[in-house]
Structure 1
């Protein structure tokens, strides 16, 4: 009987084995493997996930007609019917669709861990590398402005753009590079973001207070610029070369990137060069003082192990940027240049020769911005949770050369050193609740070196905060929120300034030096704040949802707002701070409706933002209402503090009809209204002080894109697009003391054609783009263009005052892959 029983069990096992199958396959998207995708046999409770190469296998699968359900974060779900037989069943390449709809788009910004866009109650927008590559951009922030409604930029020429989110900018917008705070004298007007635009693969924008995760300086939102992820191949080197030319200012851009993988280790490197001469428009001709040369280098090494992963990376940024001041001959309106320090007469400067306007050499009066960054990120698996640690060090060196008689002597020379940390523990779900405990902060030391102008004192800053964040899905509701406490200390010692007897310029001196002036008396203060957020998403169905969120943000005053007392030569402004300022707090309500339909993506988001202790700049006037002049030829601004309110919203309608896959019709409109709640100013000056400064006008954008479904003239899916970029007149501006003036509306027409060359195996060899920005050479002045106010005369013989934005710009971009 034992022999018979054993024989029977063996036969049953053999028969059971004969009725099962092994399923193997590979999941890809856009020709690249999709790691960690879920592959499940519906109704069988069997499945697995893809590895780093996108490959999967499912053992002991039942025979017969089955359905595989494939899903991955960031891609649309797909079902594949298969007929499984005993033995190995290899499924031909499974391709997921990540284009068209943002239904399953995933973000890592504004939340404690990766989350689908549709499940996040906070307003988040995403811009991919593909979107950036299919546009001609003069700098990285302008690329984000074009792709994300509600984002604008204060500009000082084509390479200097300060990001604003829903009417708020400077230290209210926190810029991240790969999750690390970007620290580089954000208070300054006259330099941009120190990041290589060719090395960014993705931009994620949080619109609204994000202080909960990031602390002070994120009351307006966050822009996270994420480096591009190379296509690693084990044992092989791969990479790309980008070449960029723009005709208006002769921009020459080139970038080389390559990557290499050896088992668990991945390496990448990128080097970029950009240079341009002065830009031109049909009103001003060549705009003197807008040429630049920029260099970037970056490198990283990453290791992936069963315990988690770790990466170390470094970047170098070096930019020589001319300093425009807008001085002109009063009759011919040709630009003039400063040649004297003492005795300079702005109305009697020599005219800049034409030969100097369109060459690539940098003028003696310029600024040099250097930024160095080293950081590491690690993720450690702890049971069912993870611990994430980021450590970073940065140095920002800023010099402004503004002495024409001693060109090697910088007027402003400041060095900012920053140490950052970010630690968080993502706990395992408890009763369906995903929670994170975290802490982050920084230490800063800013010092003046061999300069002659000192707008801010040498100071130290220590910042630390801790937070708790949680989220849970309850049926059709996704709920998330948390609370945070922050502490910031700012301090400096007595700072004395004297006169260099040899040059006559200012210099930093000791307290006992003869003639020493105490420009910055010692100061120390501690700022604290509690911020929080709670919101929910209601999934009416798979493609229609409602969002609501309320957030309280916190921002400590920055160094210029509390400590400034001097000339910033690059901005041509004397800044005066206020030591008695309190931290800003804002309470913002967001409501949105999103529809990810078969033929369209539609979203409507509205917000209301109430700010207490809002800090802003205003021209300083005397008792008679006349402007106060402390340094001749320079404006004087004093920081103010009052209540404020901003409200508005964004509407996006992107049409991609399934019956016409070659057509995309994308439309957006954004509106922000900023109200000054300073009742004393309102009672005295009325409508002149009604609105806040730096508020963008109504902005609408429409784009029609036609993509050929087949190869044409050797190009894979060539496309043609035409875009209308429309700005309404800005009549709601801060008019007190002519701080801002009326800006007329305008419409810019942009066109582009491009496509990809691929080899027989389907691998991309080269992307080409030919684009014309401002096709009809419209003469316009953006209300956020600082050069609009660079004018020294009350009237102009031509009827045009200030400097105009860039005219027609035709560009050619090529990206070669190897």
Structure 2
């Protein structure tokens, strides 16, 4: 037996060494000038391996497994190249890139077949975090508001969570490091909980993605792509600093990464601190201050037909929960009530590459601890610092421990002609534990398992994508309290299951014009709060009563997208109709318990419809000018005619942007922009919401790359809400208290690579 094992081990090592000998090399040129393009990105997305062209436009990538993989080559100012390439017996590749004024395309990771957006059957919005930061966003949750069809429910500036086409909370799934993020997202005042440092880009699936992600992706997915490892045999790092005038806030982060031929390593640390924000009328909103510490690290290994990586993220933050405009202060330590959050996120992603197929295994573990400290009555003469010290001694009123293990195993079958197919199994095991005085949701165990199969069929002018999935979720909770107490929470033992399917097509009328049509179903099992609540939720100031008879939410959404794109102009129209069965929501009863209004969880059929449209103009021959415009609108209502809550107001955004490539010794490149965002009245409010008036925000900014000898650095200066407008966002939870959103904010950022 020992000899057999040794022979098998030797065979695997030999096969790996043989596979590691494959090399792809070539040259990248400008198709019009026939000149080499230096520093172009050359990347195999499936292998997560790449390099850059040298000053002569040449590249070489070694240690590749045998097989055929998609090669993507991109450079600013050119149309992205994408083509399947065999890694064995491949002569030098001569790639000619076509000049284009439209932004270069990236590979979409959140969909299963990892294609460029132009090749995807499902349209996915993508934005780089670096660009969102140049537009003055204080946090990632605020930055995603600049993506068409995406908004954020906010409690001040430190607490925000995504809204995709009118759906939020447990209806929108967030993925980070390739795994689902679980951090008690059922609560309105529970924010995103992710720092933008170490996040490269954001992808948004707008619509039911239950086929790919299971329950809780009924409304869509926010997919956060972590920064890539360094290219093989290279080392680098950077320091980034940002200052925000409105909050006297700052965030800074520094990262280092290095890669050999097989091993890779990266690490990044970040710290943010903000005082209370100031509204357009000059008042500071008491206790909107927050502090955040973030650490991300990763280690990877790749050799021949095997690659693996392990990532870890620690996020620790203190977030004030605002209630009123009170003491005007620039203090940074949160007052009561406030949240103290700690998250540990571990992820492991491994891939095995065979000659014509591959196996991907992703494992994740998340430990989220949420503590909330409430106001205590102290002597009026006690100092504020003493109050905070006493609060910690008395312990957290709410202390929730959430531990989640999830897994995702996918097998990419060998291609059958032009048919690609993926089969997989996906699931999670989750426990919730309470150790504080208050209980929002009881101690419970949740388990998911799902089986899926999806295929992509490619023809010259048309593509099809289709799939089916089965899911089962079990929820087993413990009883809480005394049976005779009116706050008693009954134990739950429930099972929910669902079949879901999707069908989509992409039709290319010409090289410039294409049409996408997708029909997909989704589902969401009721969460613990909806099933078991029986008490005052101080974050929302309501007495909430759950309903153990709730059924799955189910929806069927139809999306249609028409796109036109040439070298100097692109335009799109996205429309959707989303039919929801058994939509779960809170309904006021008119009664009071413990001084708070009583709300029951109920179900009703509903519908959402609307869309986005826009264009991007780069007029010829004014190569430095860009004009972008987009409009978005969403309607949401129940079948009885009542409006749904948290439906964002319609908006129109226009941006003029100029870009110059000076390539001088001091100023390498520069840009400037002016954005005018018009947000319209939102009078279609639910029965327990307030309506909001229209407002206009003017944002401006400049930036670029400067050089001092061999050292280069990027800078940006932007002003958000330049006119210091006083306004209420319809998705602000503070609007009911008469508290405006943030006023004028000047931000300055500096990024120094080394």
Query: Shorter-chain TM-score category?
Result: 0.7 to 0.9
- After superposition, the Cα gap between the structure-2 partners of 1:644 and 1:653, relative to the gap in structure 1 and judged at 3 Å, is same
Aligned to 1:252: 250
Describe how 1:507-656 pairs up with structure 2 within 5 A. 519-621=488-590, 628-632=591-595, 634-656=596-618
- Runs of 5+ unmatched residues, structure 1: 1-21, 39-48, 59-69, 80-88, 327-333, 336-351, 498-510, 622-627, 683-689, 791-801
- Secondary structure (helix, strand or coil) at the match of 1:673 reads strand
8 Å CA contact 1:174, 1:223 repeated in 2: yes
**Per-residue deviation, residues 363-412 of structure 1 (Å, max 9, x unmatched):** 24311011101110011112311100001110110010004245122111
8 Å CA contact 1:208, 1:219 repeated in 2: yes
- After superposition, the Cα gap between the structure-2 partners of 1:249 and 1:98, relative to the gap in structure 1 and judged at 3 Å, is farther
Q: What's the CA shift for 1:482? A: 0.3
Q: What is the distance in 2 between the residues matched to 1:194 and 1:638? A: 28
Q: What is the distance in 2 between the residues matched to 1:312 and 1:193? A: 22
8 Å CA contact 1:400, 1:413 repeated in 2: yes
Q: 2:391 aligns with which of 407, 414, 427?
A: 407
**1:810 and 2:738 aligned:** no
Q: What's the CA shift for 1:612? A: 0.2
Q: What is the distance in 2 between the residues matched to 1:306 and 1:649? A: 45
Return 400-409 or 94-103, whichever deviates more: 94-103
**Per-residue deviation, residues 640-665 of structure 1 (Å, max 9, x unmatched):** 21000100010020112241110111
- After superposition, the Cα gap between the structure-2 partners of 1:197 and 1:670, relative to the gap in structure 1 and judged at 3 Å, is same
8 Å CA contact 1:712, 1:718 repeated in 2: no
Aligned to 1:794: none
Q: What is the distance in 1 between the residues matched to 2:664 and 2:534? A: 62
Q: 2:451 aligns with which of 452, 466, 472?
A: 466
Aligned to 2:301: 303
Q: 2:671 aligns with which of 719, 724, 731?
A: 719
Q: What is the distance in 2 between the residues matched to 1:275 and 1:646? A: 38
- Secondary structure (helix, strand or coil) at the match of 2:673 reads strand
- After superposition, the Cα gap between the structure-2 partners of 1:37 and 1:471, relative to the gap in structure 1 and judged at 3 Å, is closer
Q: What's the CA shift for 1:103? A: 7.6
**1:358 and 2:330 aligned:** yes
- Secondary structure (helix, strand or coil) at the match of 1:142 reads helix
Aligned to 1:274: 272
Q: What's the CA shift for 1:708? A: 2.1
**1:755 and 2:704 aligned:** yes
8 Å CA contact 1:26, 1:33 repeated in 2: no
Describe how 1:734-749 pairs up with structure 2 within 5 A. 734=686, 736=687, 739-749=688-698
8 Å CA contact 1:103, 1:543 repeated in 2: no
- After superposition, the Cα gap between the structure-2 partners of 1:636 and 1:53, relative to the gap in structure 1 and judged at 3 Å, is same
Aligned to 1:341: none
- Secondary structure (helix, strand or coil) at the match of 2:649 reads coil
Q: 1:494 aligns with which of 458, 461, 479?
A: 479
- Secondary structure (helix, strand or coil) at the match of 1:145 reads helix
Q: What's the CA shift for 1:50? A: 10
Aligned to 1:728: 680
8 Å CA contact 2:41, 2:73 repeated in 1: no
8 Å CA contact 2:45, 2:114 repeated in 1: no
Q: What's the CA shift for 1:711? A: 4.7
Aligned to 1:136: 136
Q: What is the distance in 1 between the residues matched to 2:350 and 2:189? A: 35
Q: What's the CA shift for 1:191? A: 2.8
- Secondary structure (helix, strand or coil) at the match of 1:651 reads strand
**Per-residue deviation, residues 704-760 of structure 1 (Å, max 9, x unmatched):** 0111232579322211110001100001111x2xx1112000000000011112466
Aligned to 2:86: none
Q: What's the CA shift for 1:23? A: 9.0
Aligned to 1:662: 624
**1:780 and 2:727 aligned:** yes
What's the C-alpha RMSD, in Å, of the aligned pairs? 2.7
Aligned to 1:457: 442
**Per-residue deviation, residues 754-788 of structure 1 (Å, max 9, x unmatched):** 11124667xx7211111110000000001110001
- Secondary structure (helix, strand or coil) at the match of 1:115 reads coil
Larger radius of gyration: 1
- Secondary structure (helix, strand or coil) at the match of 2:734 reads helix
Aligned to 1:83: none
Q: What is the distance in 1 between the residues matched to 2:396 and 2:515? A: 54
Q: What's the CA shift for 1:494? A: 1.9
8 Å CA contact 1:123, 1:208 repeated in 2: no
Q: What is the distance in 2 between the residues matched to 1:770 and 1:103? A: 24
Aligned to 1:3: none
- Runs of 5+ unmatched residues, structure 2: 1-23, 30-35, 62-69, 82-90, 378-389
**1:770 and 2:742 aligned:** no
**Per-residue deviation, residues 201-225 of structure 1 (Å, max 9, x unmatched):** 1111111111101000111111101
8 Å CA contact 1:103, 1:596 repeated in 2: no
8 Å CA contact 2:473, 2:496 repeated in 1: yes
Q: What is the distance in 1 between the residues matched to 2:71 and 2:451? A: 35
- After superposition, the Cα gap between the structure-2 partners of 1:486 and 1:99, relative to the gap in structure 1 and judged at 3 Å, is farther
Aligned to 1:369: 341
**1:443 and 2:442 aligned:** no
- After superposition, the Cα gap between the structure-2 partners of 1:258 and 1:123, relative to the gap in structure 1 and judged at 3 Å, is same
8 Å CA contact 1:453, 1:568 repeated in 2: no
- After superposition, the Cα gap between the structure-2 partners of 1:552 and 1:364, relative to the gap in structure 1 and judged at 3 Å, is closer
- Secondary structure (helix, strand or coil) at the match of 2:138 reads coil
Q: What's the CA shift for 1:455? A: 1.7
8 Å CA contact 1:376, 1:390 repeated in 2: yes
Return 558-567 or 641-650, whichever deviates more: 558-567
Return 24-33 or 579-588, whichever deviates more: 24-33
- Secondary structure (helix, strand or coil) at the match of 1:285 reads coil
Q: What's the CA shift for 1:72? A: 2.6
Q: What is the distance in 2 between the residues matched to 1:177 and 1:653? A: 30
- Secondary structure (helix, strand or coil) at the match of 2:692 reads coil
Return 459-468 or 636-645, whichever deviates more: 636-645
Return 534-543 or 571-580, whichever deviates more: 571-580
Q: What is the distance in 2 between the residues matched to 1:37 and 1:586? A: 32
